Amino acid sequence: MGVVSLIVMEPGSPWPGHVRDSENLVAVGHDAEGLLERARRTVQTLQGRRDRVRVAVLACNEATDAASSGRRAEIARELLGAVAPVTHGRLVLWATERASTDLRRDLLALAGRLTSELSGTLASVSLRFGVIGDGEPS
């Protein structure tokens, strides 16, 4: 049983950087539709190994259409389910520092909806634009 960080990258999203002090596992989707299933299988594998996901990062691309936003929300909820049982588990919604205003608005709204689902847990949801690295919790 170990502590891991899970980084899920939407197609076309840039690399967010490593999360320090833990093993980083990455799930990349080559097509948008397959990413949810890949993230779900990765979480199930980790749970089967009794690993704890302390930090999950969803690296977001620039898409803000309804289908992309819906898929993003489903993936984020899957990741939230992985970090919620872990003391101080954390979901990070990440985009490049040059993210569009529309993407920033969508991610802020998603973070708000996800935060309202955290009742009864010690987990948190955060939103980050720019490189993840030294300032990230272990």
Q: What is the pLDDT of residue 58?
A: 95
Q: Mean pLDDT throughout 86-109?
A: 95
Q: Could you give the CA distance from residue 35 to residue 29 in angstroms, rounded to a whole number?
A: 4
**In the numeric block, which tokens belong to residue 123?**
């987990």
Angle at Cα 39 formed by Cα 136 and Cα 82, nearest 5°? 55
Q: What is the pLDDT of residue 66?
A: 96
Q: Could you give the CA distance from residue 66 to residue 64 in angstroms, rounded to a whole number?
A: 7
Segment 16-73, tens digit of pLDDT: 877 765 566 677 666 767 889 889 999 999 889 998 999 999 999 999 999 999 999 9
Domain layout of the chain by residue ranges:
3-96+124-129
Give 1's pLDDT tier (boundaries 50, 70, 90): low
Does an H or E element contain 106, and which? Answer: helix 101-115
Give 82's pLDDT tier (boundaries 50, 70, 90): very high
**Helix/strand/coil for 65:** coil
DSSP state of 84: T
Percentage of the chain lying above the pLDDT 90 cut: 56
**108 vs 20, higher pLDDT:** 108
Q: Mean pLDDT throughout 112-131?
A: 91
